Amino acid sequence: MLQRYWFGDVDEQGCRAAGTDPAALAKRAAALRTGMESYVPIDWETARDCGVVRTREEYIDLLRAVCIALAREKIAVSYQARDVELLQMVRMLDELDNVINLLQERAAEWYQVTTPSFSRKYRSLPARKMLGIIQRGARGGLGDVAGEIDRLAGVRSRLMREVSSRADEVLPNVSALIGGLVAARLLSRAGGLAALARMPGSTIQVLGSERALFSHLRAGTPPPKHGIIFQHRRVHNAPREVRGRVARVLAAKLAIAARLDYYRGEAVPEFIKEAQARIDEAGVVA
């Protein structure tokens, strides 16, 4: 019986080597499909008898080179996936949010030192208005910092629009149900489109509420009813008594939408229309 290995083919008549080029051997190894019920394990001497190597050290070196070539090929393929750039965009957006919020807090605390009357009211002001007050009243370094924060806020707004637009392309069905920005955040928390497509609706429903879930498991606090999907108006605008039901139905439809995005890669209008009607129906108070 013919046995195929990464370095060559072996049968009763002997061994036929497949060469010593790591790249070619990596392609061969990637294409091998061997049933374990008929697989015959071998040792390095078989590769030596085949003429591929002369010593065990050469066998290990060649095998290492083949494995590295395989890994590089898989990494290159994974970076070509449609969702890879979107993942990085969402993570950059989250980092910008953290940086801007931290800098605004520091700028406000600095401004309090020079303007004590500001200390009592700044906490209740919208961030952009507070920053405008600081820019008009501050001088020197604080004024420069406030200007840079404002510039970063503009960058964040532009990136947010780009993330939403890109999500409409990568996740057309999910985006149609919850909007591009929330869809992108779901994708980021899941770790990619393939991972999101494998998740059941129950997992998608609480994705992003890990702390509350662990608190429920450890301390017996009420279980979370929703995670990231709470950001969508259909959930957070729903009456409290039906909010859990809306989140559950929405998550179930998102699970289907993610699979459609992963396997088809295009919007399915019939599904979107039916899903939206079902979600709206779930939000009706009996």
Q: What is the pLDDT of residue 122?
A: 67
Look at residue 277 and tell me whether its pLDDT is greater than 80: yes
Residue carrying structure tokens 């970063």: 152
Q: Find the range with the poorest average confidence among 50-54, 163-167, 209-213.
A: 209-213
Pull the structure tokens for residue 197: 């497509």
Render the burial of 32-45: b for 16+ CB within 10 Å, e for the rest. Answer: eeeeeeeeeeeebe
Per-residue pLDDT of 125-150, as tens digits, reads 777 778 888 888 877 888 889 889 99
Contact 196, 255 (CB under 8 A): no
Look at residue 157 and tell me whether its pLDDT is greater than 90: yes
Of residues 175 and 48, more confidently modeled: 175
Quickly state the pLDDT bin for 90 (edges 50, 70, 90).
very high
Q: What is the pLDDT of residue 197?
A: 94
Per-residue pLDDT of 211-251, as tens digits, reads 766 676 777 777 667 788 888 888 888 888 888 888 899 99
Name the percent of the chain in helix, strand, coil, to the closest 5: 70, 5, 25
Quickly state the pLDDT bin for 273 (edges 50, 70, 90).
very high
Q: What is the pLDDT of residue 115?
A: 80
Q: Which residues, 6+ apart, have CB-to-CB distance to 248 below 8 Å? A: 201, 205, 282
Share of the chain above pLDDT 90, in %: 40
Torsion of CA 97, 102, 106, 112, to 10 degrees: 70
